[in-house]
Amino acid sequence: MKRVFLDNAATTPISPSIISMMSDMMANHFANPSSSHYFGRESKNIVEQSRKKIAKLINTSPGSIFFTSGGTESDNMAIQCSIANLGISHAITSKLSHHAVLYPLEEFESKGLVKLSYVNTDKNGVVSLDHLDELLSINDRTFVSIMHANNEIGTIQDIKKIGDICFKYDAVFHSDTVQTVGHYNFNLQELNIHFLAASAHKFHGPKGIGFIYISDDIEIKPLMLGGSQERNMRPGTENIYGIAALAMAMEEAYSNLEKDIIYIKSIKSYMIEKIKLEIPGSIFYANSEKMEESLYTVLTVSFPETEKSEMFLFNLDIMGIACSGGSACASGVSKGSHVLNEIISNAKRPGVRFSFSKHNTTEEIDYTVSKIKSLYSK
């Protein structure tokens, strides 16, 4: 059966050059970077060269990059360490944040350690800058966590403007950039940002490796204890293969960025036009249809109600199409996406997120749309 992978916001296939680099490294470099002998120094060098490459790509100093197990850990580190170490008594996020942000913040709130406010968002998920300003003006030292781009509906926030507002109130600003690092250019010299989070598997690297950027003016203690790795910030023997792969995936992503953006945008546009033509009545959630206001890798669609609405994703999976999302009703699971449930007005319409990579083709889109259309034929 033909299989189409349109779930690249969940994860991306690993680049073949990275797989071969990693297997070569696994065969030839096994030493612990903390060992002082030749083998250890070699491993340490791999870690530090990788850190330098990454820092250069986002225009910051290597000292502000710390390797972690990925986005969830980086988000948790920023949140938990800020609240524990920076005299934070108030936190602001949006209801559309990833659970890696919402759950730790809600946990701190439930323990009475922080007051949690949710900044208003419009019907497309865009944060109200006026409301953010207002929330910051009436509270004590605040931690703000606003994701750069939403993984489910693709909405992009202006993190330059948000950072400037946070700066005005001396707030600590964290942005979950897991969906945008490797897909958009970053110049950290131009952003008022204290923490950002990245994860290699979102841009053709392996799972279980990522980094957190911590700006030089922030002093926090480590989240975990047990070793002096990562300059005392993140204990545990370094995942040297993952670290080298993360750096390589970032280099590959940024060296082909302009070309890949043009190509992936063309795939997304093609799918938008095809859906409009073949499945009238479809609505594009949030700003998903607008290329500059949403992730070019994500298209979130509300399809017209059908008797197959309940098992829409299941039906697509049976026909070989991998995608995700969906309201409680449409996905066939008991609890739907907290993001779509926040945005959707009619839960009976199936909500589906398609997410693209450079590997997708227009033929795959033709196949996908024809199969969706078949769900509407009697």
The residue range among 78-86, 172-180, 289-297, 315-323 that interacts with ligand PLP, by the rule CB under 6 A, is: 172-180
Check if the beta carbon of residue 314 is closer than 8 Å to that of residue 262. Answer: no
Q: Does 180 bind ligand PLP (CB under 6 A)?
A: no
The residue range among 25-33, 68-76, 138-146, 227-235 that interacts with ligand PLP, by the rule CB under 6 A, is: 68-76
Task: Judge whether 329 counts as a catalytic residue.
Answer: yes
Q: Does 100 bind ligand PLP (CB under 6 A)?
A: yes
Number of residues that bind ligand PLP (CB under 6 A): 13
Q: Does 206 bind ligand PLP (CB under 6 A)?
A: no
Euclidean distance between CA atoms 321 and 331, whole angstroms: 14
Please compute, for residue 250, the number of CA atoms within 13 A of its CA located in the half-sphere on the CB side. 26
DSSP letters spanning 56-104 = HHTTS-GGGEEEESSHHHHHHHHHHHHHHHS---EEEE-TTS-HHHHHH
Check if the beta carbon of residue 208 is closer than 8 Å to that of residue 324. Answer: no
Give, in order, the Cα–Cα distances in Å from 99 to each of 28, 96, 107, 125, 224: 38, 9, 11, 16, 20
Question: Residue 111's CB: how many other CB atoms inside 10 A?
Answer: 8
Q: Does 93 bind ligand PLP (CB under 6 A)?
A: no
Q: Does 210 bind ligand PLP (CB under 6 A)?
A: yes
Q: Which residue is nearest to ligand PLP (CB)?
A: 71
Euclidean distance between CA atoms 92 and 175, whole angstroms: 12
CB of 17 to ligand PLP, least distance (A): 21
Query: Cβ closer to ligand PLP: 98 or 194?
Result: 98
CB of 74 to ligand PLP, least distance (A): 8
DSSP run (H or E) holding 5: strand 4-5
Report the residue from 144, 178, 298, 319 that binds ligand PLP according to the rule CB under 6 A: 178
Query: Cβ closer to ligand PLP: 94 or 306?
Result: 94
Q: Does 98 bind ligand PLP (CB under 6 A)?
A: yes
Q: Does 179 bind ligand PLP (CB under 6 A)?
A: yes
CB of 152 to ligand PLP, least distance (A): 8
Q: Does 72 bind ligand PLP (CB under 6 A)?
A: yes
Strands (E), 251-368: 283-284, 298-302, 321-322, 351-355
Q: Does 94 bind ligand PLP (CB under 6 A)?
A: no
7 phi/psi in degrees, rounded to 5: -130, 45
Residues serving a catalytic function are 329
Where do contacts with ligand PLP occur on this chain (CB under 6 A)? 70-72, 75, 98, 100, 147, 151, 176, 178-179, 199, 210
